[in-house]
Chains A and B, each alone.
Chain A
Amino acid sequence: MSGPSRRRPPARSSARTEAPAPRVEAGPTAAERPRPRPSAEPSRPFLLDFFPLESAAATRLARFFERLRAGRLSTTRCPVEGELHWPPRVACPVCHREALDWVDLPETGTVYAFSPVLAGAPLGMESDLPFIVGLVDLDGVPLRLFGRIVGVEWPALAIGARVRVEPFAVDADRVFYRFRFVSNPPGPITPSSEQA
C-alpha cells in the first residue's frame, strides 16, 4: 500500500519530533468529541463516512451496536466449535452455521503494538491528527483488536500498556468503540517480559 504524498509534507511533523513532556491524563481532543450528525452535513456522501450504519434497517448486526450503546463490547461465537468471531458475523466462517450466540468481550487489554498517526488522515479525520491506533490483546480471550487509543500522548505510550474498552458517541445516532489508556507497564518491555 502507499503512503502519503511527498508533495505536501505535514506541517505539524517537525514540531512533533520534539517529544513533549509525557502527559498521561489528557482531556478530550477533537478526536474524542462527537461528530455532527450526518443529516446536518448533506454534502458529505455516505460513502466517504467510515462509520457503519447501525440500525436494524441497515444491518443484521444491529445488536452489536445496541449492546455497545449499553456499554458492552460484544461479538458472535459459534455454538458448534466455540469459535469466537471478529468482527461479529451472521454466518460462522468455520462451520457456516447461521444461528450464532452473542457474548460480551473483556473490557481490558494490553497494547501489543501501536502507531502514532501524524499525517495522512482520511477525510473527516484530519482534525483528529495526531492520533494513535494500536492492536490490543484482550484479557483472557484469543482476540487482538485494532482501535484508536485515547487518553495519552504518543511519546508517553509504551507497548505493554494497559487499556480499557470505551464506547463513544460517533454522532447523535451512532456509537463505536475505542481504547482508553490506563497505565504503562512498570518496566521496559522486552519480548521475553511480554510473554510473562
Chain B
Amino acid sequence: MTRRVALVGGGAARFGVRAATWAELVQEAGAALFRGVPNLRAADVDSLFVGAAEPERFAFQSHVAPLAAELIGVRPSKILQRTELACASGQSAIRSAYAAIAAGLCDVAVCLGVEKMNLPSMAEANTSMACVMDRPWDGPHGATAPPFFAMVAQRHMLEFGTTEEMLAAVSEKNHRFANANPIAQFYEKSFSREKLLKLPWIAPPLRLGDCSSMTDGAAAVLLVAEERARDYTDTPAWVLGTGQYSGFHNLAHAGPLTEWTGLTRAAREALRSARLEIGDVDFAELHDCFTISEIVEYEALGLCPRGEGGRFALDGQGDRGGSIVINPRGGLLGCGHPLGATGIAQALEVYEQFASRVDPRRQVPDPEVALVHNLSGSANVHSVMIYGRTAPGAS
C-alpha cells in the first residue's frame, strides 16, 4: 500500500545570466523555499534530492547533495542524493522523492534543482552541453543540442510542410507568458513573430529565438506524505501519476526523428497510473528546449494528429483560449533552461497555478489537472508527471 504524496509549495531563484555562483543560486532557492512555505522548519526536512545535471563541468563540484544540504541548512536523516538525467535532472529529483515518500521511506523531502551554466568561456559551456551526447562517438562530430533539434525541424518541414512561422508561433507564445513571470530570464522582454523570424540562425532552420538559453537558475519544492500536507498548505498539488521511457542514446538509434514514441509511452503510463486521459489535462508544462520540440510533443501526446503540430501552434490551440494551455510559466524558451532547475520550476508552476497565485496574464482558469514533461539529451528519454488539485482516490 503506497501513500499519497503532495507538493506543498516552493520557491525559485531568478533565472538568467546571473552574477552568482552555483552555491549562491542554491542558497537563493533555499531561502525562497522557506519563504514560500512559511510553516516549514529546517528540522522537519528528513530528505533532500538535488537535481543537478553537470556541476562537475559547470561548477567543478561533485558530491553536491551534502553541500546543498549545508547551504540551505538541513540535515537529512532519511535520504540524501543527487539525481542526474541531463535536462530532466530536476524532475528526476521529484520522481525519486515521490517514490521514496510513497514507499514510506521518508516523509518530508526537499527537491532542489540547480544549474550554473554561464561560464567565462561560452565554448567551454558548449563543451559541457555536448558531453550529454554519446561523447566519444557522437561528440567528436560536433553533436550538441541545436543541430540535433534542427534535424528534427528539417524532417518535420519535409514530411509535413511545417514552416518557420509555425516555429515562431511557439516562441512568441512562450515568451509572452514569460513576460508575466518575474523569475523568467526573458521577463518583460517581448518577442513578436516578426522579430523572432529576423533573429540570426544558430542551426538552420532554427534561429536564436527557437533555442532555449544557457541559463543560471535554481528552484526548490517541498514534497510530503499525505498526512503532513495540511501542515504546510491549504492548496496541495497531488502527484497522481508518473511515467518514463528511454529509447536510445547514440544518435544512430534515434529512428524517425519526427515521431517521439518515447513520449507517447511515458505519457500513456503516467495517465494510466493517474486513471486519466489526455483530454482531462487543463494545462501542461512541456519541454520546449526548442520550438520544434513543443510541436512534436503536441503530436506525441495526442493533442493533435501526427504532422499537425505546427498548425496547432499557429492556430493558438496551445494558448489561452485554445484547447489546452501549454507552458503558461513561459517554458524553457521564455524562462531559460538551467538544466537541473527546470523540472523543479515546472512543478512549482503547477503548485502556484492550482493555488491561483500567478500573474493573471498567465493564470489558467481553475485548473484541476496538469501534466509536466521533460525530455533529456536528444529526446531519447521522456519523463512525465501528472498532478491534480484533488487528492487521488478522493472525490
Are the CB atoms of A116 and B123 closer together than 8 Å? no
A125 to chain B: closest CB distance in Å? 5
Complex formed: what's the CA distance from A114 to B155 in Å?
9
Contact of A146 among B17, B121, B122, B251 (CB under 8 A): B251
Complex formed: what's the CA distance from A7 to B216 in Å?
13
A87 to chain B: closest CB distance in Å? 5
Interface-central residue, A2, A13, A118, by most chain B CB under 10 Å:
A2
Interface-central residue, A4, A7, A17, A128, by most chain B CB under 10 Å:
A4
B214 neighbours in A (Cβ, 8 Å): 2-5
Is A181 an interface residue when CB atoms closer than 8 A count as contact?
no
Contact code string B174-216 (vs A, CB < 8 Å = 1, else 0): 0000000000000000000000000111111010101111110
Is B77 an interface residue when CB atoms closer than 8 A count as contact?
no
Find the A residue at minimum CB distance from B199.
A9
Beta-carbon contacts under 8 Å, B313-336 to A: 332
Are the CB atoms of A1 and B87 closer together than 8 Å? yes
Find the B residue at minimum CB distance from A49.
B140
Complex formed: what's the CA distance from A123 to B17 in Å?
20
Is B147 an interface residue when CB atoms closer than 8 A count as contact?
yes
B378 neighbours in A (Cβ, 8 Å): 1
Are the CB atoms of A143 and B201 closer together than 8 Å? no
Beta-carbon contacts under 8 Å, B358-378 to A: 376-378
Are the CB atoms of B155 and A9 closer together than 8 Å? no
Is A187 an interface residue when CB atoms closer than 8 A count as contact?
no
A87 neighbours in B (Cβ, 8 Å): 134, 136-137, 250, 252
Is B124 an interface residue when CB atoms closer than 8 A count as contact?
yes
Contact of A120 among B126, B154, B337, B377 (CB under 8 A): B126
A5 touching B213 in the complex, CB below 8 Å, given contacts A115-B150, A117-B203? yes
Are the CB atoms of B208 and A9 closer together than 8 Å? yes
Are the CB atoms of B203 and A48 closer together than 8 Å? no
Are the CB atoms of B204 and A116 closer together than 8 Å? yes
Find the A residue at minimum CB distance from B149.
A1
Number of A-B contacts (CB under 8 A): 188
B20 to chain A: closest CB distance in Å? 15
Are the CB atoms of A16 and B250 closer together than 8 Å? no
B158 neighbours in A (Cβ, 8 Å): 159, 189-191
Chain B residues touching A, range: 35 or more
Are the CB atoms of A1 and B377 closer together than 8 Å? yes
A148 neighbours in B (Cβ, 8 Å): 141-142
Is A104 an interface residue when CB atoms closer than 8 A count as contact?
no
B232 to chain A: closest CB distance in Å? 32
Are the CB atoms of B141 and A8 closer together than 8 Å? no
B337 neighbours in A (Cβ, 8 Å): 1-2
A2 touching B250 in the complex, CB below 8 Å, given contacts A113-B154, A115-B203, A115-B204? no
Are the CB atoms of A118 and B142 closer together than 8 Å? no
Complex formed: what's the CA distance from A51 to B289 in Å?
27
B250 neighbours in A (Cβ, 8 Å): 86-87, 146
Is B130 an interface residue when CB atoms closer than 8 A count as contact?
yes
Are the CB atoms of A14 and B200 closer together than 8 Å? yes
Sampled A-B contacts (14; CB under 8 Å): A1-B289, A1-B376, A2-B87, A3-B206, A4-B126, A10-B200, A50-B139, A120-B122, A122-B139, A131-B142, A146-B251, A159-B154, A190-B158, A191-B159
Q: Name B residues whose Cβ lies closer than 8 Å to a Cβ of A.
A: 17, 86-87, 117-118, 121-127, 129-130, 132, 134-152, 154-155, 158-159, 199-204, 206, 208, 210-215, 250-254, 257, 289-290, 332, 337, 339, 376-378
Task: For the complex of A and B, list the 4 residue pairs with the smallest distance between their C-beta atoms, beginning with the closest.
Answer: A3-B211, A13-B200, A1-B145, A115-B147
Kindly list 19 other residue pairs between chains A and B, CB separation below 8 angstroms, not including A1-B145, A159-B154. A1-B87, A1-B378, A3-B202, A3-B212, A3-B214, A4-B211, A4-B214, A5-B125, A5-B214, A14-B200, A48-B127, A52-B136, A114-B151, A115-B204, A118-B202, A120-B144, A146-B252, A170-B140, A191-B159
